[in-house]
Chain A
């Protein structure tokens, strides 16, 4: 069965420190991987998707099919990065049906 695992429920770092939010998935086909983010009192929104291979707000994520991982990274965390981050798995022929991980709360301390 398809599954997304985010092993850390809470990740706390100091401003300026590097950040890595871990995401592992299980799926035998060709997955589409996403990171969605929810800032305080805001809606869940797309942060980035693996096929775009772009950097959003300084965050990047590389799909590693060998390790079945899609970790989210940022070299220097900012206080405004504090939020709930969800990794999600989708299939190209099942658009709209995403499998979400449990989420990681990132707290960036001043």
Chain B
């Protein structure tokens, strides 16, 4: 089992552009959560997808949106990129949506986004 896979691993964009990041959850998991990790900071929750719907959302603007597909994979989209969006974007998978056990997260290696 490859665990959680994310793509791309690195990418560079310019201000105003749009970006799409992809995530495949660990085999057997049905819930995907996205986190943003700025340099020197802990991960910050963006949103969670379960049963193809956004179930929870952190304090991020509407420029951040996502999608979950029937095979449980997920995408994170960021529109109108700002310099401050430069960060490591982590995908984490779990089982069962918002239940307590879903706090046990399996993380991917991340996608490092640089906005120039």
CA distance A43 to B35 in the complex (A): 13
The residue on A at minimum CB distance from B97 is A95
Q: Contact between A46 and B105 (Cβ–Cβ < 8 Å)?
A: yes
Interface residues of A in 55-71 (CB under 8 A from B): none
Q: How far is the CB of A12 from chain B (nearest CB, A)?
A: 17
Given contacts A100-B42, A102-B41, contact A95 B109 (CB under 8 A): no
Residues on A with C-beta less than 8 A from B33 are 96-97
Residues on B with C-beta less than 8 A from A88 are 42
Residues on B with C-beta less than 8 A from A83 are none
Given contacts A34-B103, A45-B107, contact A94 B42 (CB under 8 A): no
Q: Contact between B108 and A96 (Cβ–Cβ < 8 Å)?
A: no
Interface residue A86 (Cβ < 8 Å from any Cβ of B): yes
Q: Contact between B43 and A96 (Cβ–Cβ < 8 Å)?
A: no
CA distance A99 to B59 in the complex (A): 12
Interface residue A49 (Cβ < 8 Å from any Cβ of B): yes
Contact of A97 among B45, B108, B109 (CB under 8 A): B45
Contact of B43 among A90, A92, A93, A100 (CB under 8 A): A100
Which stretch of B15-23, B69-77, B79-87, B88-96 is in the interface? B88-96
Residues on A with C-beta less than 8 A from B94 are 95-96
Q: Contact between A97 and B44 (Cβ–Cβ < 8 Å)?
A: no
Q: Contact between A97 and B58 (Cβ–Cβ < 8 Å)?
A: yes
Q: Contact between A46 and B108 (Cβ–Cβ < 8 Å)?
A: no
Contact of B90 among A34, A44, A90, A102 (CB under 8 A): A44
The residue on A at minimum CB distance from B99 is A95
Interface residue B56 (Cβ < 8 Å from any Cβ of A): yes
Given contacts A45-B107, A90-B103, contact A96 B44 (CB under 8 A): no
